Amino acid sequence: MKLSRRRLFGSLLTLSAWPSARVLGQGRATPSPLSVEGYIYIQQQARLKQTLAEGIDTFFDTVRDAGFGTIELSDPFMTPDLRSRVLDGLAKRGLSMPSIYVGGAMHEERLADDTIARSIDIAKACRAVGCRAIVGNPSPKAASAEKTDDELAVQARMQNRVGAALGEIDVEYWTHNHTPEMRSQAREWWHMLRNTDPRRVHVALDIDWVHQGDQDPLALLRAAGPRVASLHLRSSTKKRWQESFGEGDVDYRPIASALKAMTIDPLLVVELAYHPETVVSRPLLENLRMGREYAERVFALR
């Protein structure tokens, strides 16, 4: 019987070196089945005018102490000077990384070749911490100009190519969205859904970016159906990101109900991000813990 993604990635926690005697949060001794996105740390370090290396160990401790057992990082964490430290730091804390985000252009074959090569290199390096998926977001054109039909055709072909190449090393390819894909009634998103091979290209649906792009998250979720491999969870008020994941513009309860009705079980990734107008009143540890607890309630994970 084929395991669902959440059960499969949850098994990585069981196999990891998680310190079972450690008590987390409110008497918790086991990590959450949720994953957490590392983008908030990139934002934090930029605000502090510090490099990623300067606070990475504290960040990993914060993720662990907030009750997460899995994390989704991105290619800035995989630079030659940082890669081994990141992978060692995750392993030391018993954190697994079932998915990692790798951006890059895909609408021009010359540029896509580089994106594909980097994706394969990073996937191979991250296998030691449980990586089984590359989350790829094809870069937009300058000024987020819409891609031509020919460029979208190239992008679909290149996504099929990277999906096939990653499949050879037992890693999946999940295509992610921001707002450029939502322009013109989500023209680019629909093109990728209709013109990529469902065996090679899965969907990482970012619910808040769909909302930011004035599209209906439930409609896209239902359209992608069993191709949905993960959901990015973030909340906003009047399209301004909140400091933690909680009640906001998007009601995530219908999303949870739709997953149940469709009998699909994607990896759920809590992603915090701060807008310039976001009021940050609590430490990151508390915001991560609160977001985890909210997601567990809404998606009935406990």
How far is residue 67's CA from residue 285's CA, in Å, rounded to a whole number?
10
pLDDT at position 6 is 59
The number of beta carbons lying within 10 Å of the beta carbon of residue 144 is 12
Q: Quick one: average pLDDT of 2-18?
A: 50
Q: Quote the pTM value.
A: 0.92
Per domain, the residue ranges of the chain are 5-16+34-298
Q: How confident is the model at residue 7 (pLDDT cuts 50, 70, 90)?
A: low
CATH assignment, 5-16+34-298 = 3.20.20.150
As to burial, measured by CB atoms within 10 angstroms (0-12 exposed, 13-18 middle, 19+ buried), residue 69 is buried
pLDDT at position 4 is 62
pLDDT at position 56 is 98
The two tokens of residue 112 are: 């896509």
- Predicted confidence (pLDDT) per residue in 149-200, tens digit: 999 999 999 999 999 999 999 999 999 999 999 999 999 999 999 999 999 9
Which segment of 14-28, 84-98, 284-298 scores lowest on mean pLDDT?
14-28
How far is residue 100's CA from residue 61's CA, in Å, rounded to a whole number?
19
Predicted confidence (pLDDT) at residue 11 exceeds the cutoff of 70: no
* Start-to-end Cα distance in the chain: 23
Predicted confidence (pLDDT) at residue 288 exceeds the cutoff of 80: yes
pLDDT at position 20 is 27
pLDDT at position 160 is 98
